[in-house]
Amino acid sequence: MTEHDLTALRERAENGDTTAVDELVELAVERGDIDELRRLADGGSTDAVDELIQLAGELGDMDELRRLADGGNNDAADQLIELATERDDLDELRRLAGLGNTTAAEQLAELTAE
């Protein structure tokens, strides 16, 4: 796909063409383009949000997961807790637990009991 084609596809998506949005999400996933997924997610695409969470988790991008979780996305919070647990990141688990996340509190209790 040329840059011109991509620009045209983005214009269609911005004008409400859901097929264009779906194509952009698919292309972004294929390219591993977290910035494009973020832009589409911020524009309201739930598919882009789901793919963004998955890609951020695969890349270990805690900042992106934190941004989504802090915005109220429970799936991102769960992925962030999983990643923080794998990394023994007690500070992140404490932060999430302090915000009222019971799963983070449980993981924190488990890790500190070991």
Please tell me what DSSP assigns to residue 101.
-
Residue 69 and residue 50 share a domain: no
Contact 57, 83 (CB under 8 A): yes
Residue 77 and residue 107 share a domain: yes
What confidence score (pLDDT) does residue 54 get?
96
Residue 53 and residue 74 share a domain: no
Residues 57-72: tens digit of each pLDDT? 999 999 999 999 999 9
Structural domain harbouring 111: 62-114
In the listed set 14, 30, 59, which residue is the last one of a domain according to the structure? 59
What confidence score (pLDDT) does residue 112 get?
92
Residues 23-76: tens digit of each pLDDT? 999 999 999 999 999 999 999 999 999 999 999 999 999 999 999 999 999 999
Residues 82-101: tens digit of each pLDDT? 999 999 999 999 999 999 99
DSSP secondary structure letters along 14-60: HTT-HHHHHHHHHHHHHHT-HHHHHHHHHTT-HHHHHHHHHHHHHHT
Residue 40 and residue 88 share a domain: no
What confidence score (pLDDT) does residue 1 get?
79
